[in-house]
């Protein structure tokens, strides 16, 4: 992680959820980058395509693509197509975590669809682009984040289609924004390691935004993100994600967290709507599914890596979750049609309804 004034992870009341967030981010393997640097003058309006259109331009990863925009100057409104607009100001970041097509703009004018020009836009890299009617200035840096669609469901499942978070309200956020602005402005100078620095900055920006979003959740919120913020549930989640293959029992986990089994089970169910061991089982199987898709290792070795003592037990659990045994899953995934999660897998890990 890049050095900066203070520590983003140490704001009061957020240390534990940052711990579990760090563990999940290690697993889902973020691939981040900035891809657009623009100055728009009012009136202006642009339509950004959905992530399925954007993703192939960054390689055939097949991952989930999160799209986000940092406003470094000016203002605009942002909305998912057909949704209600939200006001975005200087120092705000607006995130579309599920990669929905969306519209950004300031003032009434014809919306320009960027989809037909996407290849041209991406080819210019971070060279400054200018457009608009000559009025009020808005400066935007755009980025994307690709990640495993199933493993990232723990993090993304409870997020709405679009949300904004200010990052300019403390020294750490100001440092991050200023560093991004400088690095983007220098992107065309072919500095050694420049792309790697920008990728890290893009990742830091995303993580910091999620941290702030978690901290701002209402006290009555439920779901994975709210659970990560809860001291006991957050600690339990962090422990499970740090060592998913350990032979956990509810008693061992409760001792590690420092509360009784009954309290841990109750709080876990309150936020995530399932017991800790059920959560762990599904996370292990998701990790195994990724290994099956991305490696040639044997099923028995993968089973052991995710905490199963026997291949037979792993096969039974995997089939319950995915409706097919591991070998068939691997074949289908490599044929471009990985099976979907069984049961409640469409909204895993205590996600909430997106509004």
**Those residues with Cβ within 8 angstroms of residue 340's Cβ, 6 or more apart along the chain or in another chain:** 322, 346
- Tell me the sheet residues that pair with 76: 88
Q: How far apart are CA 30 and CA 208, in angstroms?
A: 14
Give residue for tokens 């259109």.
53
Q: Give the single-character DSSP code of 243.
A: -
**Helix, coil or strand: residue 109:** coil
The pLDDT, as a whole number, for residue 185 is 83
Backbone angles phi, psi at 207, to 5 degrees: -65, -45
**Those residues with Cβ within 8 angstroms of residue 124's Cβ, 6 or more apart along the chain or in another chain:** none
Answering whether pTM is above 0.85, one says no
Peptide bond into 167 cis (omega under 30): no
Q: What is the pLDDT of residues 336-348, one digit of tens each?
A: 666 665 544 434 4
Which domains can be identified in the chain, with CATH numbers? Answer: 16-215 (2.60.120.10), 225-346 (1.10.10.60)
**Helix, coil or strand: residue 77:** strand
The pLDDT, as a whole number, for residue 38 is 94
Q: What is the pLDDT of residues 295-332, one digit of tens each?
A: 999 999 999 999 999 999 999 999 999 999 999 999 99
Q: How far apart are CA 294 and CA 299, in angstroms?
A: 13
The pLDDT, as a whole number, for residue 188 is 60
Render each residue's pLDDT in the chain as its tens digit; 355 residues: 344 434 333 343 444 444 788 888 888 878 878 888 999 999 999 999 998 888 887 665 556 889 999 999 999 999 999 899 999 999 999 999 999 999 999 999 999 999 999 888 888 888 899 999 999 999 999 988 888 888 888 888 889 999 999 999 889 899 999 999 888 888 766 555 567 788 888 888 888 899 899 989 999 999 999 999 999 999 999 999 999 999 999 999 999 999 999 999 999 999 999 999 999 999 999 999 999 998 999 999 999 999 999 999 999 999 999 999 999 999 998 876 666 655 444 344 544 434 3
Distances from the Cα of 321 to the Cαs of 150, 278, 342, in angstroms?
13, 11, 5
**Those residues with Cβ within 8 angstroms of residue 331's Cβ, 6 or more apart along the chain or in another chain:** none
């Amino acid at each position: 992680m890049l050095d900066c004034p203070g520590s983003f992870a140490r704001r009061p009341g957020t240390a534990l959820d940052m711990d579990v967030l760090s563990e999940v981010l290690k697993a889902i393997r973020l691939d981040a980058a900035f891809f657009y640097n623009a100055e728009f003058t009012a009136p202006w309006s642009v339509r950004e395509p959905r992530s399925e259109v954007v993703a192939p331009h960054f390689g055939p990863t097949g991952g989930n693509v999160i799209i986000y925009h940092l406003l470094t100057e000016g203002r605009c409104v942002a909305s998912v197509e057909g949704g209600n607009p939200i006001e975005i100001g200087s120092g705000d970041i607006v995130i579309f975590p599920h990669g929905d097509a969306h519209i950004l703009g300031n003032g009434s004018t014809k919306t320009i669809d960027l989809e037909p020009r996407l290849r041209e836009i991406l080819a210019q890299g971070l060279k400054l682009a200018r457009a608009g009617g000559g009025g009020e200035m808005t400066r935007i840096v755009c980025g994307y984040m690709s990640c495993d669609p199933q493993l990232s469901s723990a993090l993304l499942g409870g997020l709405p289609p679009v949300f904004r978070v200010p990052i300019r309200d403390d020294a750490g956020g100001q440092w991050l924004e200023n560093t991004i602005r400088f690095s983007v402005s220098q992107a065309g100078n072919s500095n050694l390691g420049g792309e790697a620095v920008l990728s890290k900055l893009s990742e830091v920006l995303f993580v910091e935004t999620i941290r702030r979003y978690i901290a701002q959740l209402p006290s009555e919120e439920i779901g994975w993100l709210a659970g990560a913020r809860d001291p006991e549930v957050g600690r339990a989640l962090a422990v499970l994600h740090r060592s998913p293959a350990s032979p956990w029992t509810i008693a061992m986990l409760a001792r590690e967290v420092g509360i009784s089994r009954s309290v841990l089970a109750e709080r876990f169910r309150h936020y995530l709507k399932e017991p800790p061991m059920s959560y762990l089982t599904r996370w292990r199987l998701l990790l195994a599914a990724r290994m099956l898709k991305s490696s040639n290792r044997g099923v028995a070795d993968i089973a052991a890596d995710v905490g199963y003592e026997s291949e037979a037990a792993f096969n039974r659990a995997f089939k319950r979750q995915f409706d097919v045994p591991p070998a068939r899953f691997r074949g289908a995934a490599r044929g471009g049609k990985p099976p979907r999660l069984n049961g409640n897998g469409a909204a895993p890990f205590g996600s909430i309804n997106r509004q």
